[in-house]
Chain A
Amino acid sequence: MLKILTNIEDIQGAKGEIRAGGTDLHDRYRMGVSSGAIIDIHKLDFGGIVENADGSLTIGANVTIDNVGQYPKIQSGYGALSKAANGLATPQIRWAASFGGSLLQKTRCSYFRHPDLTCTKKGDSECGGRTGQHPNGVVFDKGGCAHSHSSTLATALLAYNATVRTTEREMPIVDLYGDGSAHDRDHLLNENEILTHIVLPPAIAGEKTAYFRSISRFEAEWPIVECSVRLVVTDGVITDAGVGVGGVSQIPLRLKNVEAALIGQAATQSTLAKAARISTENTKPLPQSAWKVEIMVNTLLHTLEMALKG
């Protein structure tokens, strides 16, 4: 029932759910939402964080979220990622959880996390969330699951055009999640496919970055909406932008229309406000979650302002 991998090849034929830090897995096991055999990968060494000759950065999937947040080259070159890493969950979780697990964790929908409620992600025929209460549901509805994806760091990776490597392939981070049409999936890895590395393209000097989440309390709360933003400003003009949002869609979302509305424009308050409003273009909120559209626009605006202020 427990297999501790010391060699990545031993995954062949192994049965069970992969466990890295266990911070998501054990919550589900204790709640009686998940059960069964476990394949423990925490002893696998993917090489930590490696600074490549071309300026790119390769991060092993078992590096902790805290290490991602504190690593000097990530702080200086990928500010939105390090800020997101330092701003999510709680210190104990960031010390324990792996980067890989943070991208592959399961949803926090209360129906999914409740042992007695139905959810298609648990194999039930009905999605209790969609037909029931979902005031913190998605605003880019694509049918199927009505709850947002959990991963904060995925929103930052989207903003950076990161790629991920697995035991089977290498792909852009967007392809890890697809377009949201696979309703019962939190990611698109195959069974026994291990995420091994996250690769960040070479950093752009002087980027302005920010990460921010809207919540009701001071900290340690799952976001209503969260944003990771990076801006490159040259002579007062935004020349490049990356915008990732969470809490609004069943997949971590990159808002290319917002990026397009920023790039080539003067780095002014009115540009930011206009761009933030464009985020509503493709929204399709559910009646209960409609209120979140406004808070998405405002959170985005706030994050863009934070980034510009530096």
Chain B
Amino acid sequence: MKTTINGQSFEFEPRHDETAIEVLRERAGLTGTKMACGGGICGACTIRVDNVPKCSCLMPATQMDGADIRTIEEHGLDNLHPIQRAFMANEGLQCGFCTPGFINEGIAFYDRWRAEHGKSEPSKHDIALAMGGHLCRCGAYMGIYAAIQKACAGEYDDAPDAPIHRIDAPEKVTGTAKYTVDIVFDGQLEGKILRSKYPHAIIKGIDKSEAEALEGVFAVADLMKLGEKVRWVGQPIAGVAAVDERTALLALQKIHIDYEVLPAAVGTEAAQKPDAPTVWEKEKRGDIPSAAEEIDIPYKWKNNVGHVPADLLISPLRGRAKRALEKVRKKDPNMLAEQVYINHQQVHTALEPHAAVANWDGSKLHVVASSQSVYAVRNELAHHFGIDIEQITVEGKYIGGAFGAKGGLYREIIVAVTLALAAKAPVRVANSRLEELAYAGTRTGSRAEITLSVKKDGSPGAMHFHSYGDAGIAAGAAPAAVYWLMSPEGLRKDFSDNIIVNNTPPTMPFRAPDGPAKRWAVESAIDEAAARNGLGPVAIRRCWWPKHEIKNRLLDWVESIPQWQERKAMAGADKGRFKRGIGLAMATWMFLYHPHTKVKVSSSPDGFKVECASQDVGNGTRTALAKAMEDALGINRHQVSIEIGSSELPIGPMSTGSQTTVSVYPTTVTACEKVIEHLVKESEAKLGLGNARAVKGGIQHSSGFTAWDEVLAVATPFEYIDKRGAEPMVMGLRFATMSKETNPSNGRRFSHGAVVTEVEVDTLLGKIRPINVWTSVAVGKIRVPELATSQMYGGVIQGLGYALYEQKTFDYKTGHVLSANLNDYRIPGIGDTPEIHVHFDEEGYEEVRGKGIGLAELATIGIAGSVGNAVYHATGWRPTQTPITPSDVLKGLKEKKNA
């Protein structure tokens, strides 16, 4: 068969079930075309066939015959399409994995639009309809809207100098960025994982002989020992490395596992039954994986229910809280805000799956991984495989999203390394979308029992907050403890955190672990208490934090929103089918940073360079480093050479805990200061400049200005590694744990946010449409405003997914995950994006290095709470579970009517 790809003719003979994406990526080596869902839903694989966008993952390869195929590689840096420039100038991307698809669809749309409407702006509605076949998990939709609108209007037709905020945007919009799934070494094999079909079983036998005998199979490796137990469907049992994916998949079917199937507890309900099978035997509890970020939470167990024995810490005066609540209950139970709040599990589902390529060269191990922690993975690999750290390099240059699920040494990396060792060849392991949605990363589900009373003046009374987490077979959820850290002075607390282990896949940290759940429960309860006590949502929060400057500033901002000012006092006031409502939630989060981070800045005749072993998961690490250089040296950020994403570099932060920018930015600036010092001296010595001092872009001296270039040309090359170091804090903790409002540094160490969401509820069909989201964070100085805004947008969009659409579902009989494709697991699309208004409150963190703290997690924490409160305000019915589905809405409204 003969086709034309980007103007070049290409011949091939397709296999019977081959699709176009395989021809492009595997035969033609054009890896710019990405596969994410493999089922026509996400559009990452979109190419243009005779200028019509098609999903190459579903397009039969036979249809390439005689067709004109265009891929993202068509327009390189030397002939950028206006759509590509527009995406770069408007932050239409973060991790970049969905970008090739959006760009191809965007180019076709641009052509159609221009032909029909000339140079003019399409509406967001037009764009949403055209881009309906694309999903972006990072939530870059606001930028995508702006990019396409402006490009169609002609703004980038001739704009070679259009701004490029994100340093790696050029690689991402041209398809040259190589993600882990794109890496191909010579002789590379494809690895696949045989996963448990049962939620609870003992592995009695593994018969690999038939698989090993299969042609094209190079290695079959045990990942479990005989006699060991599997505790969830999807747990890796064995791995196969073969010449290609189809051979590896075939080999998996030829491995015969002898299971002794045991009774299982699938889901928390089953796990709590009196006769529930024990998910973790006493002696095995040390093996329970942690769903919490770097924190090992101890438990006291009663069969499958683990209680966090922190009562004395988080509820020292539990009795007083209980009595206070009982008193109110006796006197006027109507004054109690009492509900059970539930959050179903949410799935990370980054568009690039978990993936790793491992290559042994003698005793040296080279790993490329889609990872949020290249530096830490190296250490963990050394520990796991018992090899010297010096023998290992870990690399991750481009990462297609992570959101918490790709921290540390995850299973797929271990399998790749194991198989590469066994096969004596490089091996890639990459999850399918099913594996990604079912097994590779989930936010802990939560059930929170809350009873809240407030005092007559609106100030905090007492709160009963008992949480029961669903982390599958994992443990480590503590929303009550997290709220305890941040709760107001004077609140009497009866708090308790519990976990219910059950035979479903382990959950993992997900952008602000426990944050959205905690706020869903608490902000809903505060809202309800306000309504019961005749207080407004802002008023009650001012009563809770009368002296808190930052929170009160955020509340001032809330009251400055015109739609908020017009807010009706009564809930459910709208008549008719469509009801509008507006809700408020506050958010607070911890300040994490990485004190050990080291940044190397160097100068040479080649220019300035910055290096750090952190990685860019779409958050913008490269850009934060380059912007620090830009700010410190007064040069254009694109002139800096940047080296990240390799464990060979000076230690850098993991991309977790909102800590990247706060760790690398100030460190880069101070390292620059040393380099500047050196260059000033050199300019005096070598160029004979008098009175030299550094200014933006170069050196000011008695006889004028000399640009850095001229200084660098003569100066001895120089490098300086600076360390971030610790903040002066209580007992040297990485984050401060004081919660007294009167503490002078209160509010400095926590980040604070406020979210106002306006929704429209269709009471006939149960659909909730978010219309406006106003979101403000107080995190101090914003260092890279364009990228910080992108993070805020992404936080809102993921928060809306959590609030309204996303739910991991199970078949309780077999333990299999039902929401195993992107039709059944529903993430927000571009048309679900409301108007998002971002506000930064930049005061109050002056004493922190860099004068600011992180915001990526804070950006998502309050969203669901504000949606719930908006739905209540619209309808008078209070949703208690997320996602708030049409069926919940119809049921809730009916119950309210009948009440």
- Say whether chain B's binding surface is mostly helix, strand, loop, or mixed: loop
Contact indicator B764/A301 (Cβ below 8 Å): yes
Residues facing B in A67-117 (CB within 8 A) are: 89-93, 95-96, 108, 110-111, 113-117
Contact indicator B831/A132 (Cβ below 8 Å): no
Q: Is residue B535 within 8 Å, beta carbon to beta carbon, of the partner chain?
A: no
Residues of B within 8 A of A221 (CB): 823, 826
Residues of A within 8 A of B771 (CB): none
Q: Produce 1/0 per residue, A208-229, CB < 8 A to B.
A: 0000001111111110100000
Q: Produce 1/0 per residue, B874-899, CB < 8 A to A.
A: 00000000010111001100000000
The answer for the CA separation of A30 and B39 in the assembled complex, in Å, is 8
Contact indicator A40/B62 (Cβ below 8 Å): yes
Who on chain B is nearest to A66 by CB? B52
Q: How far is the CB of B791 from chain A (nearest CB, A)?
A: 23
Contact indicator A216/B885 (Cβ below 8 Å): yes
Contact indicator B63/A42 (Cβ below 8 Å): yes
Q: Is residue A171 within 8 Å, beta carbon to beta carbon, of the partner chain?
A: no
Who on chain A is nearest to B884 by CB? A216
Contact indicator B60/A93 (Cβ below 8 Å): no
A133 contact from B766, B818, B891, Cβ within 8 A? B818
B53 contact from A92, A292, A299, A302, Cβ within 8 A? A92
Who on chain A is nearest to B804 by CB? A216
Q: Is residue B382 within 8 Å, beta carbon to beta carbon, of the partner chain?
A: no
Of B220-228, B636-644, B682-690, B806-814, the one with at least 4 CB within 8 A of chain A: B806-814
Of B127-135, B170-178, B359-367, B564-572, the one with at least 4 CB within 8 A of chain A: B127-135
Q: Is residue A32 within 8 Å, beta carbon to beta carbon, of the partner chain?
A: yes
Q: Is residue B824 within 8 Å, beta carbon to beta carbon, of the partner chain?
A: yes
Q: How far is the CB of B850 from chain A (nearest CB, A)?
A: 39
B831 contact from A26, A89, A217, A301, Cβ within 8 A? A217
Q: How far is the CB of A85 from chain B (nearest CB, A)?
A: 14
Residues of B within 8 A of A108 (CB): 823
Q: Is residue A172 within 8 Å, beta carbon to beta carbon, of the partner chain?
A: no
Known: A116-B197, A117-B814. A217 touches B53 (CB 8 A): no
Q: Is residue B16 within 8 Å, beta carbon to beta carbon, of the partner chain?
A: yes
The answer for the CA separation of A92 and B578 in the assembled complex, in Å, is 32
Q: How far is the CB of B232 from chain A (nearest CB, A)?
A: 13
The answer for the CA separation of A131 and B58 in the assembled complex, in Å, is 31
Contact indicator A23/B58 (Cβ below 8 Å): yes
Residues of A within 8 A of B17 (CB): 1-2, 26, 29, 35, 38
Q: Is residue A37 within 8 Å, beta carbon to beta carbon, of the partner chain?
A: yes
Contact indicator A218/B128 (Cβ below 8 Å): yes
Contact indicator B128/A32 (Cβ below 8 Å): no
Contact indicator B39/A31 (Cβ below 8 Å): yes
Residues facing B in A268-296 (CB within 8 A) are: 291-292, 294-295
Known: A30-B39, A114-B820. A298 touches B765 (CB 8 A): yes
Contact indicator A291/B887 (Cβ below 8 Å): yes
Known: A96-B54, A114-B816, A117-B816. A220 touches B805 (CB 8 A): no
Max chain A C-beta neighbours (<10 A), residue from B14, B41, B105: B41
Contact indicator A294/B434 (Cβ below 8 Å): no
The answer for the CA separation of A80 and B499 in the assembled complex, in Å, is 52
Q: Is residue B821 within 8 Å, beta carbon to beta carbon, of the partner chain?
A: yes
Who on chain A is nearest to B38 by CB? A30
Q: How far is the CB of B868 from chain A (nearest CB, A)?
A: 16
The answer for the CA separation of A221 and B822 in the assembled complex, in Å, is 10
Contact indicator A128/B811 (Cβ below 8 Å): yes
Q: How far is the CB of B530 from chain A (nearest CB, A)?
A: 28
Known: A31-B821, A133-B818. A216 touches B805 (CB 8 A): yes
Q: Is residue A19 within 8 Å, beta carbon to beta carbon, of the partner chain?
A: yes
Q: How far is the CB of A131 from chain B (nearest CB, A)?
A: 7
**Contact residues on A (Cβ < 8 Å of other chain), bracket:** 35 or more
Who on chain B is nearest to A299 by CB? B765
Known: A92-B46, A96-B55. A219 touches B129 (CB 8 A): yes
The answer for the CA separation of A131 and B813 in the assembled complex, in Å, is 9
The answer for the CA separation of A96 and B19 in the assembled complex, in Å, is 13
Max chain B C-beta neighbours (<10 A), residue from A19, A132, A215, A218: A218
The answer for the CA separation of A218 and B814 in the assembled complex, in Å, is 32
Contact indicator A216/B764 (Cβ below 8 Å): no
Who on chain A is nearest to B809 by CB? A133
Who on chain A is nearest to B253 by CB? A32
Q: Is residue A14 within 8 Å, beta carbon to beta carbon, of the partner chain?
A: no
Residues of A within 8 A of B41 (CB): 90, 220
Contact indicator A93/B55 (Cβ below 8 Å): yes
Q: Is residue A27 within 8 Å, beta carbon to beta carbon, of the partner chain?
A: yes
Max chain B C-beta neighbours (<10 A), residue from A27, A90, A111, A292: A90
Residues facing A in B31-76 (CB within 8 A) are: 38-41, 43, 46, 52-55, 57-60, 62-63
Q: How far is the CB of A273 from chain B (nearest CB, A)?
A: 11
Q: Is residue A135 within 8 Å, beta carbon to beta carbon, of the partner chain?
A: yes
Chain B: interface residue total (CB-CB under 8 A): 62
Q: Is residue B828 within 8 Å, beta carbon to beta carbon, of the partner chain?
A: yes
Residues of A within 8 A of B765 (CB): 214, 295, 298-299, 302
Q: How far is the CB of B452 from chain A (nearest CB, A)?
A: 30
Known: A1-B16, A26-B17. A217 touches B819 (CB 8 A): no
Residues of A within 8 A of B39 (CB): 27, 30-31
The answer for the CA separation of A2 and B15 in the assembled complex, in Å, is 8
Contact indicator A291/B890 (Cβ below 8 Å): yes
Contact indicator A37/B829 (Cβ below 8 Å): no
The answer for the CA separation of A257 and B886 in the assembled complex, in Å, is 27
Contact indicator A217/B58 (Cβ below 8 Å): no
Q: Is residue B767 within 8 Å, beta carbon to beta carbon, of the partner chain?
A: yes
B886 contact from A30, A219, A224, Cβ within 8 A? A224
Q: Is residue A201 within 8 Å, beta carbon to beta carbon, of the partner chain?
A: no
Contact indicator B818/A26 (Cβ below 8 Å): no
Q: How far is the CB of B873 from chain A (nearest CB, A)?
A: 20
Max chain B C-beta neighbours (<10 A), residue from A38, A116, A299, A302: A116
Max chain B C-beta neighbours (<10 A), residue from A22, A93, A95, A302: A22
Contact indicator B16/A113 (Cβ below 8 Å): no
Known: A96-B55, A108-B823, A214-B886. A117 touches B811 (CB 8 A): yes
Known: A38-B16, A92-B40, A217-B828. A110 touches B62 (CB 8 A): no
The answer for the CA separation of A151 and B405 in the assembled complex, in Å, is 36
Who on chain A is nearest to B1 by CB? A4
Residues of A within 8 A of B809 (CB): 110, 133
The answer for the CA separation of A23 and B56 in the assembled complex, in Å, is 10
A91 contact from B58, B132, B811, B891, Cβ within 8 A? B132
Residues of A within 8 A of B62 (CB): 2, 4, 40, 42
Contact indicator A90/B890 (Cβ below 8 Å): no
B52 contact from A4, A95, A219, A301, Cβ within 8 A? A95
The answer for the CA separation of A82 and B191 in the assembled complex, in Å, is 46
Who on chain A is nearest to B890 by CB? A294
Q: How far is the CB of B466 from chain A (nearest CB, A)?
A: 28
The answer for the CA separation of A285 and B16 in the assembled complex, in Å, is 41
Who on chain A is nearest to B18 by CB? A2
Contact indicator B767/A214 (Cβ below 8 Å): yes
Contact indicator B831/A133 (Cβ below 8 Å): no
Residues of A within 8 A of B58 (CB): 21-23, 26-27, 93, 96
The answer for the CA separation of A216 and B882 in the assembled complex, in Å, is 13
Chain A residues within 8 Å of B, Cβ to Cβ: 1-2, 4, 19, 21-23, 26-27, 29-32, 35, 37-38, 40, 42, 89-93, 95-96, 108, 110-111, 113-117, 128, 131-133, 135, 214-222, 224, 291-292, 294-295, 298-299, 301-302
Would you list 17 pairs from A and B whose C-beta atoms are within 8 A, ordered by A residue? A19-B60, A26-B19, A27-B40, A31-B38, A31-B39, A37-B16, A113-B820, A113-B824, A114-B818, A117-B816, A132-B812, A217-B826, A217-B828, A217-B831, A219-B129, A222-B823, A302-B765
Given contacts A38-B16, A92-B105, A218-B831, 19 further A-B contacts (CB under 8 A): A22-B59, A23-B40, A27-B39, A32-B249, A90-B41, A92-B46, A93-B133, A96-B58, A110-B818, A114-B820, A116-B197, A116-B816, A132-B811, A132-B813, A216-B883, A216-B885, A217-B829, A291-B891, A295-B765
Top 5 nearest A-B pairs (CB, nearest first) are: A90-B133, A218-B831, A2-B16, A1-B16, A110-B818
